[in-house]
Amino acid sequence: MDLGEGLRKAIARLSGATLIDSKTIKEFNKELQKALLGSDVEVSLVLALTKKIEEAALKSKLPTDVSPKDYITNLVYEELVKLMGKKFEPTIEPKRILLLGLYGSGKTTTSAKLAKFYQDRRLSSAVVCCDVARPAAYEQLETLAKQAGVGFFGIKGEKSVRKIVKEAVAALKDKKVIIFDSSGRNALDGELIEELKEINAEARPQEKILVISADIGQVAGKQAKEFDEAVKLTGVIVTKIDGSGKGGGALSAVNASNVNITFTGTGEKLNSLELYDSKKFVGRLLGIPDIESLITHVQEAVKEANIKPEDMSMQELNFDTFYTQLKAMSKMGPLKNVMGMLGMNDMPKGALEESEVKLKKYKSIIGSMTQEERLNEKLMHDQMRMRRVAAGSGSTEKDVRDLLKDFANMKKMMNAFQNDRDMKRKLSKFMPKM
């Protein structure tokens, strides 16, 4: 069970509560402690947090128009936000950034993600391979740089990081943001510290960011302290936050070590890097919709898929416009993350995986249709067309019929929405302006 699921289950137990008394709070805190400890949040932090919740709940009077469940949820939200740290707001200006970390943290992928982040904000960016220890590090970073559309510099086979950095600075003088990807180790040792000091002296980076994997849990705090003592960090990026039940433990531990969390890595795709905001993170854990982040993801996905904003219009839904929607969705990362932004965290894992497979299959089926068939779905009810498209997409005729059925239901929903002026008015403020 991950932290979010544990928190939501603990809060669900308050659904039938009619008042907040000592017994209710103590029982709730036991479940809360179980969820936090199970996600590797440090014991002293857990005890301090639950004590604050108990004191705040018992000393204040419950507002007459608020249910005990909602009141406790708000207390948990506020205390968890404090536990997880502050919101990060980067300076969008020319800079040099040194990324450091141990093996397995996702540092090299994060280098490309970070370069793309700044390049998307109109700062020409490049990555530099300063990893002189790991085989294939040069090729990996070069490939990622091409995928991200950012600059790349490296000297294959060179063992002197000073030489690499010096030549990189000269070669990339036209770039506004230069990111130096350093070597990793199994542990922070004297050799790695010396290497990092050499890069630091030659590159003179404005930012020194440690990359840590969320799956190490509270050990993240110890790593942050050690690296901070060695090279004086300016921040930490926590990766693999989407696939680790220990994400809360890692974030709370880093915050407790007094090092700022800057970004979180939420997937393998190059746009799966989010500015850290503890309010949004905790909100998603508790199942609170994050419409702002969803809109940002939609806009970035549309841009990355080279889709014109007018092509995303749902005024006329046909297979052609639906295909465009599917292309954008495929750029948004795992469906689990999208559902989390909508506050729908507890959908069965099997249902999510089945939906992922179905959407990929539908995209392939539509890709095998002619333009005429895409614009007029009625043509696809012809058995011969159905058979041809199924064969061309590597699917079955049943898959094609399933698409036709789901598509018909979608059109009904869209028509109902188009005719519901009140609903359109309520949702209009959330719609992306692209």
Best CA proximity match to 400, nearest among 411, 413, 387, 412: 387
Tell me: pLDDT of 178 over 90: yes
> Are 127 and 66 contained in the same domain?
no
> What integer is the mean pLDDT of 363-383?
91
- Which among 252, 285, 318 is the end of a domain? 285
Tokens of 353: 């995986």
Assign residue 66 the CATH number of its domain: 1.20.120.140
Distances (CA, A) of 215 to 241, 245, 247, 326, 345: 8, 7, 7, 31, 20
Residue 89 lies in a domain: no
Exposed/middle/buried for 49, CB within 10 Å: 0-12, 13-18, 19+?
buried
Distances (CA, A) of 218 to 104, 204, 252, 339: 16, 30, 8, 27
For residue 427, the tally of other CB atoms under 10 A from its CB is: 12
Residues 208-244 pLDDT 10s = 999 999 999 999 999 999 999 989 999 999 999 876 7
Tokens of 153: 């510099």
- Pair type for strands 177-182 and 151-153: unpaired
Please report the pLDDT score of residue 95 as a whole number: 97
d(CA 223, CA 218): 9
Residues 291-344 pLDDT 10s = 455 555 555 655 665 655 555 454 567 888 788 777 776 666 665 666 555 555
Assign residue 370 the CATH number of its domain: 1.10.260.30
Tell me: pLDDT of 90 over 80: yes
> Are 279 and 302 contained in the same domain?
no
d(CA 232, CA 224): 10
Best CA proximity match to 301, nearest among 327, 320, 280: 327
Domain coverage including residue 192: 95-285
> Are 139 and 47 contained in the same domain?
no
d(CA 409, CA 177): 48
d(CA 336, CA 258): 31
Please report the pLDDT score of residue 336 as a whole number: 63
> Are 244 and 381 contained in the same domain?
no
d(CA 249, CA 222): 12
Given the structure tokens 């850290």, which residue do they identify? 276
Exposed/middle/buried for 291, CB within 10 Å: 0-12, 13-18, 19+?
middle
The pTM (predicted TM-score) of the whole model is 0.70
> Are 27 and 104 contained in the same domain?
no
Task: Reduce the DSSP state of residue 97 to 3 states and report it.
Answer: strand
> What integer is the mean pLDDT of 133-152?
95
